[in-house]
Amino acid sequence: MALITKAVKGTLDFLPQNIYKNQFVENSLLQIGECFGFKEIRTPVFEHTELFTRSVGDTTDVVQKEMYTFNDKGDRSITLRPEGTAGAARAFLENGLFNEPLPLKVCYLTSCYRYEKPQAGRLREFHQFGVECFGTSDPAADAEVISLASQIFDFFEVDNIALQINSIGCPKCRAEYHKALKEYFESKKADLCHTCLERLDKNPMRILDCKSPICSDIAKDAPKILDYLCEECDEHFKKVQKYLDVQGIEYTINPSIVRGLDYYTKTVFEFVSSDIGAQGTVCGGGRYDGLIEEIGGPSIPSLGFGMGLERLMLLLEAQKRRFPEERKPELFIVTIGDEAKLKAVELARELRLDGSSVLYDLGGRSMKAQMKLANKLGAQTVIVLGEDEIKNDEATIKDMASGATESIRLSELPDRFMSFLMQQAAVQAADTLNFFNTEG
């Protein structure tokens, strides 16, 4: 099989006929982020490998098995980002953004790369909407970030999505906990998988996140971190819950959530749905108070989440959620003869400069075939231009939805389309407001 016409395993093409859905979702996400004061940040697709081994953690699946790492021609070890937080944190540090009023809130729409076994909802190139809130230890910030994720699901009218929260404590309370975990897993050593045996010494909490059925079965009865939280962490977790309660955000406490990345502290959370198969975690995040220090900066408590866009889209499709209509061309100009084609090109230029979507035939089609094409492309109106129309500065414009026709001066077209556009913009604005105002 010719490889050059095959996409790499675990990657997807997003095709033009459906892209309006992705665009709607992505624009909405950025707008919802804005409601909470998050501004977009864009960072490179690759970083020095060490950034990820340090921040994500070298005992995690991501670092041990899933990274796309290579040496560039200057013999630097480079890795395609497996997640968005590390790059954003690096940019925050490197650009001195900690001098801005804190917390500094950033969000991004970004591609991520992980060498995983591809299946529904699990790809090798996937996309995330992520938010990061750098420089606050306030439990209200934990609730705010969770509230943002929750508002996204409300906005798209998603149901059957459950929020689960947990606290995995800080290094202080974790020392005790690690001891207890180690003791427990030592007694089950004979049954643990090879990777978990390694984790037992280095990072026993990672065993709780092992995907092997035997290990996860053993993990069920392991000591729970919540019983080991220090006073500060316990207090923090209780406050987060209060701030969620006051917003009416429902959640369950799931002590088995530890998250797959090492940098988390205190609050961790996931939004999970059973409607999209085995890969049901649509959004995961939490606090990472030690991360900035870990990558060489000052101690700056921070938090965030990553939401898988492919999984979000799967969920919207599975629940048959509505998308606003795709924009259709405002006008298709059917031309008869060279003179008319010249006029069409001239007219289209003027209308397009005003923002209208205007098309004409580029394939040498007959008049009948042009009409058919206009229909197929969903043009809202069509005018037919021939020699007479140009000579008389008058043509027939047809509304494709109603079939109604009317006569119009060509010189008046720009004005007419201008007001047409304004009307449509008003309708669209009302529609967007409607989206924001509908209740769950």
* Residue indicated by tokens 């501004």: 39
- What residues form DSSP beta bridges with 286? 268, 304
304-343 mask for ligand ATP (x: CB under 6 A)?
Answer: --x-x-xx--------------------------------
29-68 mask for Mg ion (x: CB under 5 A)?
Answer: ----------------------------------------
The residue range among 174-182, 197-205, 225-233, 253-261 that interacts with Mg ion, by the rule CB under 5 A, is: 253-261
Compute the least distance from the CB of residue 116 to Mg ion, in Å.
Answer: 7
Compute the least distance from the CB of residue 113 to Mg ion, in Å.
Answer: 12
Compute the least distance from the CB of residue 312 to ligand ATP, in Å.
Answer: 8
- If the CB atoms of residues 83 and 144 are measured against ligand ATP, the closer one turns out to be 83
C-alpha R_g of the chain: 28
What is residue 151's three-state secondary structure? helix
- If the CB atoms of residues 233 and 282 are measured against ligand ATP, the closer one turns out to be 282
Cα of 31 vs its chain's centroid, Å: 12
State how far the Cα of 190 lies from the Cα of 185, in Å rounded to an integer. Answer: 9
Residue 277 makes contact with ligand ATP by CB under 6 A: no
Burial of 376 (0-12, 13-18, 19+ CB in 10 A): exposed
- If the CB atoms of residues 314 and 334 are measured against ligand ATP, the closer one turns out to be 314
* Residue indicated by tokens 């016409």: 5
Compute the least distance from the CB of residue 58 to Mg ion, in Å.
Answer: 16
Compute the least distance from the CB of residue 56 to ligand ATP, in Å.
Answer: 8
| Of the candidate residues 83, 142, 144, 330, the single one contacting ligand ATP (CB under 6 A) | 83
Phi and psi (nearest 5°) for 114? Answer: -140, 130
Instruction: Choose the one of ligand ATP, Mg ion, none that binds residue 286, judging by a C-beta under 5 to 8 angstroms depending on kind.
Output: none
Q: By C-alpha distance, which of 118, 35, 144, 41 is closest to 86? A: 41
State how far the Cα of 294 lies from the Cα of 231, in Å rounded to an integer. Answer: 24
Q: Which of residues 278-297 bind ligand ATP (CB under 6 A)?
A: 279, 281-284
Residue 239 makes contact with ligand ATP by CB under 6 A: no
Compute the least distance from the CB of residue 63 to ligand ATP, in Å.
Answer: 11
**DSSP states of 192-235:** S-HHHHHHHHH-GGGGGG--SHHHHHHHHTSPPGGGG--HHHHH
State how far the Cα of 86 lies from the Cα of 106, in Å rounded to an integer. Answer: 13
Q: What's 15-54 look like in SS3?
A: CCCCHHHHHHHHHHHHHHHHHCCCEECCCCCEEEHHHHHH
Token readout for 210 is 């092992």
Compute the least distance from the CB of residue 66 to Mg ion, in Å.
Answer: 7
At position 365, the amino acid (one-letter code) is R
Residue 212 makes contact with ligand ATP by CB under 6 A: no
- Cβ proximity of 108 and 84 under 8 Å: yes
* Cβ-closest position to Mg ion: 260
- If the CB atoms of residues 83 and 389 are measured against ligand ATP, the closer one turns out to be 83
Q: Which of residues 90-119 bind ligand ATP (CB under 6 A)?
A: 114, 116
Residue 126 makes contact with ligand ATP by CB under 6 A: yes
Compute the least distance from the CB of residue 23 to Mg ion, in Å.
Answer: 27
- Which residues here bind Mg ion, judged by CB under 5 A? 260
- Which residues here bind ligand ATP, judged by CB under 6 A? 83, 114, 116, 121-123, 126, 128, 260-261, 279, 281-284, 306, 308, 310-311
